[in-house]
Chains A and B, each alone.
Chain A
Amino acid sequence: QLQLQESGPGLVKPSETLSLTCTVSGDSISSSSFYWAWIRQPPGKGLEWIASIYYSGTTYYNPSLKSRVTISVDTSKNRFSLKLSSVTAADTALYYCARLVGVTGAFDIWGQGTMVTVSS
């Protein structure tokens, strides 16, 4: 069965770049019809979509974060990654990776999430 696992530093300094990786197990990240996405949730708040990517490299970004975000995929390692630059305390959140059924479908499989705190 498909599983997603986020990994990366739990603490990032202000103005630095947050880097996270989501490793996919149980199926190929190159499966057609699926996109792969990052979603975050600040403490006590709601969900915010960050970005989505197809295995071929097609990407979609949240307009409010686009200037600071890069999503990429590594099919050889069956994983995809997120980079968020110039972070501030407002970027402190639980970061989830998820599988998206088609670019406008639904997020059907989620990772357990990884907490990232931005602090000096």
Chain B
Amino acid sequence: QSVLTQPPSVSAAPGQKVTISCSGSSSNIGNNYVSWHQQLPGTAPKLLIYENNKRPSGIPDRFSGSKSATSATLGITGLQTGDEADYYCGTWDSSLSAWVFGGGTKLTVL
């Protein structure tokens, strides 16, 4: 059971928009930065979003992040088949003194 809760899967058509939620608590999301990683099949995770809503260099602005209270959301617009991947949220948990990840969400672009 992950400390952060994500939906197991989401799907949408090419060109559409999708959001992936990540729910936590005051000890993690509520008081720390959230990051999001994309893991394409057979590859290592790649940082998409850091500090809740910032994109590393090279990440297109189709990807966005937001946070409100104890939840965070990853948004992807203009979906492409190449976006099919597993997406993970993560943050520091101050009570556990540990990094925690969500269980991951599999995105299918129909």
Contact = CB atoms under 8 A, between A and B. Distances in A.
Contact of B35 (A48, A52, A63, A107): A107
Interface in A38-74: 46-49, 52, 60-63
B101 A96 contact: no
Interface stretch (B19-27, B66-74, B77-85, B88-96): B88-96
A46 B88 contact: yes
A89 interface: no
B21 to A, nearest CB: 16
Contacts of A105: 33, 35, 50-51
A37 B99 contact: yes
Interface residues of B, number: 25
B46 A110 contact: yes
Interface in B27-73: 32-33, 35, 37, 44-47, 50-51, 56
Given A46-B102, A46-B104, A110-B44, A104 B92 contact: yes
Contacts of B56: 108
Contacts of B35: 105-107
By DSSP majority rule, is chain B's interface helix, strand, loop, or mixed? strand
A20 B50 CA distance: 27
Contact of B90 (A47, A52, A63, A111): A47
Contacts of B37: 47, 107
Interface string B4-32: 00000000000000000000000000001
Contact of B45 (A47, A60, A100, A104): A47
Contacts of A49: 90, 98-101
A43 to B, nearest CB: 12
Contacts of A37: 99
Given A47-B101, A48-B101, A107 B90 contact: yes
A108 B45 contact: no
Interface of B: 2, 32-33, 35, 37, 44-47, 50-51, 56, 88, 90-92, 96-104
